[in-house]
Every structure is written in C-alpha cells, then in structure tokens.
Amino acid sequence: MKNERLRGKTIVITGASGGLGEQLAYMCAQNGANLYLLARNQEKLDRISASIREQYNVKCTPIALDVSKYDHIPKVFQRIYDQAGEIDVLVNNAGYGVFTEAGEVELADLEGMFAVNVVGLIACTKEVIPFMCKRKSGHIINIASQAGKLATPKSSVYSATKHAVLGYTNSLRMEMSQCGVFVTAVNPGPIRTGFFQTADPDGSYLENLGRFILNPKKVADNIVAAMLTNRREINMPSWMNWVGTLHTLMPNTVERLGRKAFFKK
C-alpha cells in the first residue's frame, strides 16, 4: 500500500516483535517512514529492525518495553523525542488475550490483560498527547477488536479490555479533534498471528474459524492506508462488524441466533 504521507515521518509501534505489529513496521518502512519498534523481546526487535534498515534504508530503532511496566514508559518516550524530535503516528498494538470461561479466569490473567491492553495503551498515549496537541498534528491508532463491540463466551475479560479501549478511544477522539490530531480505532476480527498461542493453545478456535480468519498483511495494509487521515474506525471483516451493529440494535435476537457459533471457542 502506497501512502506518500508517511515519507520521512516518525512512527512508533508497540507490540512490534511479531504478527500485526511486524507487518505494520515493514509496510511503514516501504513508504519511507522512520520507525521506533517497541516490544518485550529485544532479540526479535533487533532482527526485524536490521532487516528493515537493510531493505528500505530508513531509520529503525528497536527498544525493549513491556507496556505493563508503567514506570518505564515515560523514559522510553523521552528517549524517542530526544532522538527524533517528534512522533507523527503512535500505533498502540501491544495486547494479548486468554480465552476461558468467566468462572475460571485466573486473577493473574485478568490483571495482565487489563495492564497491557488498557492501562499500558493509555500510558503510552499520555506520552504523545501534549506534544501532538502543541504541534496540532499527529495520529493515534489504537488496535481494539470486534470483541470490543460484540462479546462472546470464553472472552469475557478480553472483551472487557477491548470495550474499555473503544470507550477511551471514542472520548480521546473528541478531545484531540480540538487540536487537529487524528484518532482511529481498529477493530479486527481474529487475525492469524501468534496471539492464539496464548488465547487458544489447543487450536480449536482457529480450526473452527477456518477461512474467516484474517490475514495480518491485509489488516496492516488497511491501517497503513489510513495513516495521517481522519479515519474514525477500521472494521474488518465487514460482515463481522455488521453482526456487532445488529447486536446493538437487537441483542436478544443476535445472541439467540448466534449462540451455537459463539460457543465455538
């Protein structure tokens, strides 16, 4: 996907050591953006960054960061501002899920999902808000989920975190519109990434999804195309988003008709 708006811009991506984050990094580099890649795994980040620099001749800096370690976040973003001077796009991609029934959720998993998916995302966003507002430009992209629109069995906590992300993003969008900063929520359905190694270790959910699972390259392509444009949401696949919209209008009917499919986790 060609997006000339990205040439020479500085883009920060969390959760960039694999999956969707890695695909976004390569596509942004193809468009001439300079990158800061954040994730817990320094070795993977180093490998991806070296490959990007070699292929696309852009600046690409890997920085190890666990977004659930909130006190580390300001130091990392200060380092980026000291080196780059500005951040044009922040992609809050870091996140994970554990699929289990509500009565069996481990408190450690509950705390972990909220720490990474919600509080870590908000903490990273807080680091760019004053700078983007001062410049009156920038783009904050939050990777939420269709689970933030339509909760299904065995994803109660994960869905709760993504509902929180959408609520935060919708409020943030209105606030940031006053200073010309774009805010976009990305709501993908299931993507074929390493996410399911944790969420679905036995592979049954992926097997049931079959051809409906999204290709991470296609999702990344849509996100990169929208960067530095005033796009409210990116919803994929469209049919799943329609189910979520229909659920808002007729929740009892959707839950009754979709009960069998919803339990295929």
User: Which amino acid is located at 164 in the chain?
Assistant: A
* Backbone φ/ψ region at 236: left (φ over 0), alpha (ψ -120 to 50), beta: beta
Q: Are strands 139-143 and 182-188 parallel, antiparallel or unpaired?
A: parallel
70 catalytic per annotation: no
Active-site residue among 26, 56, 96, 158? 158
**b/e map of 11-27 (b: 16 or more CB within 10 Å)?**
bbbbbbbbbbbbbbbbb
- CB distance 161 to 118 below 8 Å: yes
Catalytically active residues are 158
